[in-house]
Each structure stands twice: as C-alpha cells, then as structure tokens.
Amino acid sequence: MKTSELGLSRNENTFLEDILHGENVLLDSESYDEFDSLFAELKKTWLYIDASRKFVNYVKSLAPMMKTSMIASVRSTTGLGSPPIRYYTNDSESNNFRLKNWLGFREKPLPEFITELASFVEGEKSEVQKAYCNLPGKFHVRKEF
C-alpha cells in the first residue's frame, strides 16, 4: 500500500477514511471547488497527524485524476446512482487472483492461457448452474431469490 511505502502506515486508516470511507470524504465532493476546499482542510490535519509532506504531495499529484474521474459528481454522471455508490476494484482484483491461482501463478503461452481460461470459465458456469439447482457446490442462491 502506498501509505506503507511512504512510511505512514501507523496512520494509514485515518488517511483512507478521509479519502474513501468516512463522513464528508474527499471523493464525495460534488465539484472541483469542493474537492480543493476539503483537500486544503485535510492537508492541515494530515500534516498535524504525521508531520510528513510525502503523503500530501502524493495525493496532490493524484488530485487532477481524482477530480476528473472519481468524485461524487462524476460517479453520478456515469450511472453509479445518486448519491453515487463508491467504485472499488476489489472484485476484479479478486478475480485476477482466482485466475492466477487456477494457473498456478505461472505465465503461460497465449494458446495455453486461452485453453486454461476457457476451462476456468466453464468451471465457474458449472458452479453457477449447481447453485441455481440447489446442488452442493461453491455457491448458493439466497433464499429470497
């Protein structure tokens, strides 16, 4: 994690809550001006907590990208609801891990990778079918569905 790389791991949760998870977070800004105003407030807090400019400079370097692709107004415009749901890459990263695990964490030549990927997908389809038929497997359908 970048906060650990910057030597800020003891305050990692505070920084992440201020950006992503807590109340009045940076990414819930509705405009560039609101983002800039909140970031200015957070900088003071972060510097007081950690007395390090590394993290502030890191977030400052990401600010243009965050404002154009991650703040609440952008997420609403892209169809993530109002108020917009937060978007994370956890699901895709999890699937990447599962596929890597399926492949034994080894690089494969493209034709072999395609064959293995097809086998992986078929296995997933089979598990989904078992779930819908209420058969034992990795997945199940919740009763309300």
What pLDDT was estimated at residue 109?
93
| Residue 121 belongs to a domain | yes
Dig out the tokens for 132 from the structure.
Answer: 């819908």
Contact of 74 with 83, CB cutoff 8 Å: no
Query: For each successive 10 residues of the chain (145 residues), what is the average pLDDT?
Result: 64 71 81 92 80 79 90 85 66 78 90 93 89 82 75
- Report the C-alpha gap between 109 and 99 in whole angstroms: 15
Residues 70, 108 within the same domain: no
- Domain of residue 112 covers 90-132
CB-based contacts of 42-46 (< 8 A; 24+ apart in sequence) = 42/18, 45/18, 46/11, 46/15, 46/18
Residues 61, 14 within the same domain: yes
What pLDDT was estimated at residue 87?
59
| Residue 62 belongs to a domain | yes
Q: How far is CA 77 from the centre of its chain?
A: 19
